[in-house]
Structure 1
Amino acid sequence: MNAFFDGYINSRTTLQEFVKQYDNALQHKTEKETQADFTLLNTTLPCGSQSLIERQFQKHYTHAKFTEIQSEFRGKINCFVDGVVVQDNSSLYKVMEDSIYNEIREERAFMVTFQRDTMDVNCSCLLFEFRGIICRHCVCVLAQERVTEVPAKYILPRWCKSVRRKHTYIRATYNNNEKDPHIERYDNLTKTFGNIAEIACIRCAIHWVHVTADIITQ
């Protein structure tokens, strides 16, 4: 929230000014996203490796999110497998990562579980669970297992190029129906479905009254 309103409001902003500045902030955000979409459609960030998995993320993700993914692929060079325990279709890998902190080399161990039947991969660092990004330790294990494509669940729709941002359907003072006809269509559909929902709600209420009456009679 602070980042969204940065430069638009402060502790002395009145309520009337807030309403105006909120609209200005929303317009600025929309313009930046439109510019980013244009850049996305006309440029391609090159892959830093020959990994087919990296190419998979390149194909689906926006530039900003793909850049974060690439950081993990670069970090893979500092990881190596230090042991594996195989049981049926499951493998438990011990992945070591080299790092330098205050000019001192350190090694950290991470446990990665890989399921061959589902291609599921989970790491003790929990990067995917916290940030939705597959970690370098998992990338290391996937390369070890010769996996060339990750399951769809590791590609989150909210960061895909094809996503349609819902806030663009919201009517604002800077919107013009002639320029944005989808906003007018969205408003009309919202009213129509609202009426349908109201009728359905009334009919459901009447139905349950009859059902309750039948139960009491019996």
Structure 2
Amino acid sequence: MSLHLLALDASSSACSVALLRQDGGTSECLARHEVTPRAHTRRLMPMVDELLADAQITPATLDAIAFGQGPGSFTGLRIAAGAAQGLAFGLDCPLLGISTLKALALQAHRRFHFRHIVTALDARMGEIYGATWHCLSDSVSLKRAEAVLAPEAFHLPEDEIDWVGVGSGFTLWERFAPTVQVRMSQHLDNLEPRAEEMAWLAADDFAAGLGLAAHQAQPVYLRNDVAWKKPV
């Protein structure tokens, strides 16, 4: 069985696209990643066109579309979701929303072989989007649910594991509780979600029959109020 899956992400300061091709027992993932603050709308679809041209395929070849559904930049999430929905609708193919935090955990696992990972993205307003994961052989399991909260309110699962933190939320490291800091052997605050890991995760979801119709997949903001309001 062959698969051509395109993934898009604009949840952070970067735009990224990836094309995963699987045929029988072989897999290949082509990816592009650009740091493009405030230029996501202008760059995302041209990057898709460039990637498909490099792969020498047309959009009609695609079997599924995936996108970074959040949490992350509200504007970026809407841009990626809109582009992915438009492609999936036009191609009449399934759409798969992928957690940015899960993709970030997979990236840390694949690049650095970390197994027990805290993902945290800067949510602005003094908060983070955080979750904890266990990773083994490219498999990512959620241990504590994704949530938006103050760094001081973040707690690790009750176990004896040494954790590693990744993501922009760790620019707020000094605000994490000492009981959390002492159980984390290191933290990397320069990792951002990428479409490449989203493509691999989406391939598993596609195989499990989790693809949705274009109109059904929506961004996940975690925060109910997406605009900051000045206190009265």
TM-score (norm 1): 0.26
Higher helix share: 1
Normalization by structure 2: what TM-score?
0.25
**Which structure's relative contact order is higher, taking Cα pairs within 8 Å and 6+ residues apart?**
2
Q: Which has the higher strand share?
A: 2
Which structure has the greater CA radius of gyration?
1
